[in-house]
Structure 1
Amino acid sequence: MKTQLFTGYLRCIIGLLLITLSMSTKAISSTFDHSHALLNQVLNRHVVVFDNQRKSAVDYQAIANQPKRLDDYLAQLSAVTPTQYASWSFDQQLAFLINAYNAFTIKLITDNIQAFNRGEAQSIRDLGSFFTSPWEQSFFKLLGKQRSLDWLEHKKIRVDFNEPRIHFALVCAAVSCPKLRSEAYQASQLNEQLENQTRLFLSDRDKNGIDETGIYLSKIFKWYGDDFNGIHTFLRHYSDALTDSASDAKSLTHSKLPIRYTDYNWALNTTGVN
């Protein structure tokens, strides 16, 4: 009899613990703003989109002059714990990481805005040192540890997510990068945003297209070719974005056109630069 009572009590305790754990997990998950409202405010105000939505430029000086919104958003990102992150959906996690990469990149530029103003830096690459590139510098906290942009892209996003379209969403503050959107990525519309971003990037004729020699592409496809599981196969899904003519689209579909890669312009994607 005592054994049965003990077993019953034990089951009740375990049940209560499970309920408490579940409620705690939900509470933790709900504390982060998955609308990324603060980042939305920064991007809406300081990103200028042009060339039929294909390109954008950033007013880094204005952000540097009034950094509170960006700093508050970055503080929100840094406060997220690994446990909290693990409780989120796939799309919530990926939107969080993409926004983190773009927001901390903006922070790197604005923290060094005087170097650009003095002409000591022309691109993000000039912010590195003899020993480390700017992408290797662990200058921010994320998921409980000091992190670098390289960690975010190469050891987290590319490892945990089989999603080649992220290469058109991660923006490293250069003219030849895909455009920085004037809105944050959100889980509720992440697929649509990534699809739109991919099509806009491929339809930018300064970076990608088809001419008499074959296909010309951004070096992003060269650097991350393995992520696309066959570049020609990937491009066939976007033939309408890559080319403006039906004959070129047909050629892309039925043959492997030769590929060449365009020069990459690392100049800062600041307002006034085309």
Structure 2
Amino acid sequence: MHRLAVTCLFLLLFSLPATAAPEAELWARWTAHDPAATASVDHTAWDAFLKRHLRPGDDGVTRLDYAAAQADAAPLDAYLERLSAVPVSRLNRDEQRAFWINLYNALTVHTVLAHYPVDSIRDIRISPGLFSIGPWGRKLISVEGEPLSLDDIEHRILRPIWRDPRVHYAVNCASIGCPNLLPEAFTAANTERLMEAGAHAYVNHPRGVSLADGRLVISSIYDWFEADFGGGEAGVLAHLRRHAAPELAAALAARRGIDDHRYDWALNDSRR
């Protein structure tokens, strides 16, 4: 009976959807920066890689040609190796933000390519822990000699340092339900523009917000990270109105609650 109970628990946990996200817990080691620094990081290799392999769809979803990218992995490997050697603590804040966003996105693509073909990034079960799902907890790269995971970059660096909900429109988890991987690298000069454009595009796409037959269904991102979007349904609705096109904003103004959340974990693969 005990063995049966353990087996049932194992199967249950492995079948559970990802409905919770890590808290934003600051890793103080990465707060060091130099406001007067003028050094910049070269992201042209990542920019060129994106332009070669991203495929915008008629449905508003941008997908990556992972099969083609596998044969073009050397530039991505070299780019990540260069980022690993960057003394990021000596950069100014704007350069750091672009650095961490690009590192997260490039490392996610690199991880998928290392295990491709897969149907979903959640199938890449390399995180530590018996019941782990996905690659997010695995230490994948070192920066300034410090091993880092994707969770470290997003939840211990980007979210707690910048405290900007638009970060969620910048980092990409290789899924259809995620905000698009943008077709250009982030830089200190363009990050504000790209995050704003990403927010507008996602909120005004059915993946982000769907209002039909009187029901408001929004992305699970707004549930998992509710605290980042103002806390509670009222805060989320205010955030959505801020980035919605006029017609959608007017419809959201009449809403006092959210009916449901949804998310598509299928890989953002152009060949699917």
Q: Judge same fold: TM > 0.5, yes or no.
A: yes
Answer 1 or 2: which has greater helix percent: 1
Contact 2:102 2:186 in 1 (8 A): yes
Match of 2:62 in 1: 56
Would the alpha carbon gap of residues 251 and 179 (structure 1) be closer, same or farther in structure 2, given more than 3 Å must change?
closer
Match of 2:174 in 1: 173
Q: Tell me how far 1:267 sits from its aligned partner.
A: 1.2
Match of 2:52 in 1: 45
Q: Tell me how far 1:206 sits from its aligned partner.
A: 4.0
Q: Which moved more, 1:63-72 or 1:203-212?
A: 203-212
Contact 1:169 1:197 in 2 (8 A): yes
Q: Tell me how far 1:69 sits from its aligned partner.
A: 0.9
Contact 2:218 2:261 in 1 (8 A): yes
Q: Which has the larger radius of gyration?
A: 1
Contact 1:239 1:249 in 2 (8 A): yes
Residue 103 in structure 1 maps to residue 103 in structure 2: no
Residue 80 in structure 1 maps to residue 80 in structure 2: no
Q: Deviations over 1:15-69 (max 9, x none)?
A: xxxxxxxxxx96xx63732xx10000100000111237x3111111222112111
Q: What count of residue pairs does the alignment treat as equivalent?
A: 229
Give 1:148-167 correspondences, 5 Å limit. 148-167=149-168
Contact 1:202 1:209 in 2 (8 A): no
Q: Tell me how far 1:131 sits from its aligned partner.
A: 4.9
Would the alpha carbon gap of residues 251 and 66 (structure 1) be closer, same or farther in structure 2, given more than 3 Å must change?
closer
Match of 2:31 in 1: none
Residue 125 in structure 1 maps to residue 122 in structure 2: yes
CA–CA distance in 2 between the matches of 1:260 and 1:88? 44
**Alignment-mate amino acid for residue 252 of structure 1:** L
Q: SS at 2:180's partner residue?
A: coil
User: Which among 231, 235, 243 is matched to residue 238 of structure 1?
Assistant: 243
Match of 2:270 in 1: 271
Q: Cα RMSD (Å) of the superposition?
A: 2.0
CA–CA distance in 1 between the matches of 2:251 and 2:204? 17
CA–CA distance in 2 between the matches of 1:31 and 1:221? 33
Would the alpha carbon gap of residues 263 and 256 (structure 1) be closer, same or farther in structure 2, given more than 3 Å must change?
closer
Q: SS at 1:99's partner residue?
A: helix
Match of 1:94 in 2: 97
CA–CA distance in 1 between the matches of 2:249 and 2:242? 10
Q: Deviations over 1:215-270 (max 9, x none)?
A: 221100000010011112212212317xxx3xx533423x4432133432111111
Match of 2:145 in 1: 144
Q: Deviations over 1:111-169 (max 9, x none)?
A: 112xx2xxxx3211111143544100112112321111011111111111111001111
Q: Which moved more, 1:104-113 or 1:231-240?
A: 231-240
Match of 2:73 in 1: 67
**Alignment-mate amino acid for residue 265 of structure 1:** D
Match of 1:15 in 2: none
CA–CA distance in 2 between the matches of 1:47 and 1:86? 31
Q: SS at 2:55's partner residue?
A: strand
CA–CA distance in 2 between the matches of 1:206 and 1:132? 26
Match of 1:219 in 2: 220
Would the alpha carbon gap of residues 188 and 31 (structure 1) be closer, same or farther in structure 2, given more than 3 Å must change?
closer
Q: SS at 2:109's partner residue?
A: helix
CA–CA distance in 2 between the matches of 1:143 and 1:261? 42
Aligned identity (percent) is 31
CA–CA distance in 1 between the matches of 2:40 and 2:62? 32
